[in-house]
């Protein structure tokens, strides 16, 4: 086995491109070979067996790393905390269902003014209509959301709901708002 060490190391370097990591891969290969030595059939190709272990160890690690996120300072972990309110998921589904019940022009106006914080005037310019039309759409949209949800919505309800949507985004695999709202509505 010791005679195969340079070949295994060269193969490991060709896989990962890092001498230190190659040393670790070779060490893991020998460890796995030792632990599973009873599965090696005497008289078969030891070199092929060790190279297969090394290759499989490398690819398993690469698959595992794709799912991992480097978080040295802990900021990502802080963002991924569970919401304080255990009912948030149910309310998120209700909000998504109510949101989809709005006409598109009201969704647009609420998204721009209520969520993004854009002024009525700027939203009007963006959508090609008067600021008064935007105010009307926002007001009708808020009222319809309140009616559908069966509760009186305070003025900042859309902003509060958006905070909940952002929490949902952090806990979701998706990052596209329409997809998230559709998932929540299902």
- So what's the pLDDT on residue 116? 72
How confident is the model at residue 166, as a pLDDT? 55
- Domains within the chain, CATH numbers bracketed: 2-67 (1.10.1740.10), 79-185 (no CATH)
- Cβ neighbours, 10 Å, residue 154: 11
The series of mean pLDDT values per 10 residues for the chain, 186 residues long, is 83 85 92 92 87 90 79 74 65 79 87 81 88 92 82 58 55 51 52
Give CA–CA dist 173/42, Å, rounded: 47
- Report the distance separating Cα 43 and Cα 141, nearest Å: 77
What is the per-residue pLDDT for 149? 78
pTM over 0.75: no
DSSP string, 21-61: HHHHHHHHHHHHHHHTGGGSPTTS-HHHHHHHHHHHHHHHH
């Amino acid at each position: 086995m010791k005679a195969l060490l340079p070949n295994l190391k060269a193969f490991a370097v060709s896989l990962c491109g890092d001498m230190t990591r190659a040393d670790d891969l070779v060490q893991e290969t020998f460890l796995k070979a030792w632990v599973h030595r009873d599965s090696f059939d005497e008289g078969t190709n030891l070199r092929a067996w060790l190279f297969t272990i090394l290759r499989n160890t490398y690819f398993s690690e690469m698959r595992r790393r794709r799912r991992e996120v480097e978080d040295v300072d802990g900021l990502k972990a802080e963002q991924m905390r569970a919401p304080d309110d255990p009912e948030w998921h149910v309310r998120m589904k209700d909000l998504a269902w109510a949101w989809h019940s709005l006409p598109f022009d009201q969704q647009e106006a609420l998204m721009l003014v209520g969520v993004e914080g854009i002024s009525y005037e700027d939203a009007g310019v963006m959508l090609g209509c008067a600021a008064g039309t935007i105010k009307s759409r926002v007001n009708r949209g808020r009222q319809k959301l309140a009616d559908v949800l069966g509760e009186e919505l305070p003025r900042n309800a859309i902003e509060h709901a958006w905070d909940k949507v952002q929490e949902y985004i952090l806990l979701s695999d998706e990052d596209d708002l329409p997809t998230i709202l559709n998932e929540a509505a299902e």
